[in-house]
Amino acid sequence: MVWALVATLVLAMIQIGLQSILVLRQPGPEWVLSARDEPREIVGLSGRFVRAHRNLLEIFPQFAAALFVVHAAGLNAQLATYGAWGFFVARCVYVPAYAFGPTGLRSICWQVGQIGILVILADLFF
């Protein structure tokens, strides 16, 4: 369970590194190195990687909180382990699905990640 959390943190780090490299291409190094007072929209493939990372950051607190609650409750965490790894795998597939996948695949990956969080919380009830 904890290793799934660590793996998801590494995924977030990889995503921010990848998006940083891709973003550098569009607005140029001057803007990237500036205070960015004037926001610029990142589009195309680079924008998809930026949005995929932003989406992970939006859902990550719920994922981490669910794992914390189960851990703090001192439960066996069998379901939480499955849910955590399910969340991680879904988020790994989400990135290329968002960038390159056919319409709908990204949404399916997002739903599987959400289900992973629900499975983590199921350990509290079963």
Domain count, the chain: 1
| Residue carrying structure tokens 């399910």 | 86
- Which domain covers residue 52, as residue numbers? 2-122
The CATH number that applies at residue 59 is 1.20.120.550
The pLDDT of residue 37? 85
Residue 86 confidence (pLDDT):
97
**pTM beyond 0.85:** yes
| Residue 62 to residue 88: CA distance in whole angstroms | 13
Written as tens digits, the pLDDT of the chain (126 aa) is 889 999 999 999 999 999 888 888 787 778 778 887 888 888 999 999 999 999 999 999 999 999 999 999 988 789 999 999 999 999 999 999 999 989 999 999 999 999 999 999 999 988
Location of structure tokens 């921010």: 16
Predicted confidence at residue 21, as pLDDT, reads 87
Q: What is the pLDDT of residue 101?
A: 87
How many Å apart are CA 6 and CA 33, to the nearest integer? Answer: 29
Contact 62, 106 (CB under 8 A): no
The pair of structure tokens assigned to 124 is: 């509290």
Distances (CA, A) of 39 to 21, 27, 58, 91: 17, 10, 20, 27
